[in-house]
Amino acid sequence: MNKKQVFILEVMNNQKGTWQGQLRWIDGKKDRSFRSALELLHLVDSVINEEEDKPADPAAMWSTGTVGNQKDLL
């Protein structure tokens, strides 16, 4: 990662022992909802490690709508 990444985190709920909310990636100009703390970490990790892993498009995870398994909905 060559430059600092800025996020705004809004935790809207705490159910089933984990967080649900909204994450805004300022530099990527993307917003994503998350359903768990693990999903939140996956989103942040996809941006922070973009230089090391060289994904085709780190913002792709941000545009698909969900991360991980959708069976674990609230």
- The string of DSSP codes covering 56-68 is S-TTHHHHSS--S
**Per the structure, how many domains does the chain have?**
1
The pLDDT of residue 50 is: 75
DSSP state of 71: G
In a domain, 57, yes or no: yes
Confidence of residue 49 (pLDDT cuts 50, 70, 90): confident
Average pLDDT over residues 21-49: 93
Give this prediction's pTM. Answer: 0.66
Specify the higher pLDDT residue, 59 or 24: 24
For residue 71, is pLDDT > 70? no
In a domain, 30, yes or no: yes
In a domain, 72, yes or no: no
Containing structural domain, residue 37:
7-65
- d(Cα 61, Cα 50) in Å, to the nearest integer? 11
* Digit-coded pLDDT (tens) for 5-28: 999 999 999 988 999 999 999 988
